[in-house]
Amino acid sequence: MTRLHVAAVVVLSLLPAAAIAHSPIKGLDNFYAGFLHPLFVPAHLLPILVLGLLFGQQGPARLQTAIIVFLVAVVGGLAATLLSPGWSVELALLVGAAVTGVLVALSIPLPLAAYVALAALLGLMVGIDSAQDDLSGRGRLAALLGTCVSAYLLLLYAMVFADFFTRREWQRIGLRIAGSWVAASALLVLSLSIVG
């Protein structure tokens, strides 16, 4: 590269740009922007996926109540954003992802009440942290509906994946390793958030 190219890259990288964490994605319908929201926010994606891994690892048939509680909690959290938007619980979500990752890594069965409480807590926090500040009216409702559908489908897909991969010992070990990776990733992001 020539000096002109290097100078142009440096100047362009120094130009400010808007960085809005929970704004809709330009060019997409509000529902689809909300649907993609949990996929683009690591603090939402990690806890949802690792909760699905935990449910699949422990047997979805016995945890049906916890699965339904997660959906109800997400809806409750999203409804709370209509009343008072602007809450940020990303750090708490990362702590929840780390704790849930450790539970997957340990692979110790817990009472049903523990799974229900974890599902309620994580679902509520995902919902509360999914406020779409730039939208109002029907557009906002469509985005929140998309987020709800996406969060529930992510949970179900991760759960089915984990349930499928519990048939052999090496597969169960792989799930435990995935849980430890999620815990480590969440703790790393959490420590960087606290230090930074």
Let me know if residue 33 belongs to a domain: no
What is the pLDDT confidence band of residue 61, given thresholds at 50, 70 and 90? Answer: confident
Could you give the number of structural domains in the chain?
1
What six digits make up the tokens of 85? 């938007």
Residue ranges making up the domain that contains 92: 43-195
Query: Are 54 and 179 spatial neighbours (Cβ–Cβ below 8 Å)?
Result: yes
What is the pLDDT confidence band of residue 54, given thresholds at 50, 70 and 90? Answer: very high
Let me know if residue 164 belongs to a domain: yes
Let me know if residue 124 belongs to a domain: yes
Let me know if residue 144 belongs to a domain: yes
**Which of 10-14, 15-19, 44-48, 84-88 is least confident?**
15-19
Let me know if residue 12 belongs to a domain: no
What whole-number distance in Å separates Cα of residue 84 and Cα of residue 88? 11
What is the pLDDT confidence band of residue 158, given thresholds at 50, 70 and 90? Answer: very high
User: What per-residue confidence (pLDDT) applies to 136?
Assistant: 67
On average, the pLDDT of the chain sits at 83
Let me know if residue 25 belongs to a domain: no
Query: Are 159 and 53 spatial neighbours (Cβ–Cβ below 8 Å)?
Result: yes
User: What per-residue confidence (pLDDT) applies to 16?
Assistant: 45
Does 19 score more than 90 pLDDT? no
What is the pLDDT confidence band of residue 4, given thresholds at 50, 70 and 90? Answer: low
What whole-number distance in Å separates Cα of residue 33 and Cα of residue 37? 6
What six digits make up the tokens of 80? 């709370």
Instruction: Tell me the whole-structure pTM to 2 decimals.
Output: 0.81
pLDDT tens for 81-111 read 877 766 778 889 999 999 999 999 999 899 9
Measure the CA angle with vertex 163, ends 160 and 165; round to 5°: 110
What is the average per-residue pLDDT within 20-43? 74
Four-point Cα dihedral 116, 117, 119, 122, nearest 10: 180
Which 8-state DSSP code applies to residue 130?
Answer: T
Does 12 score more than 80 pLDDT? no
Let me know if residue 101 belongs to a domain: yes
Let me know if residue 2 belongs to a domain: no
What is the average per-residue pLDDT within 75-81? 88
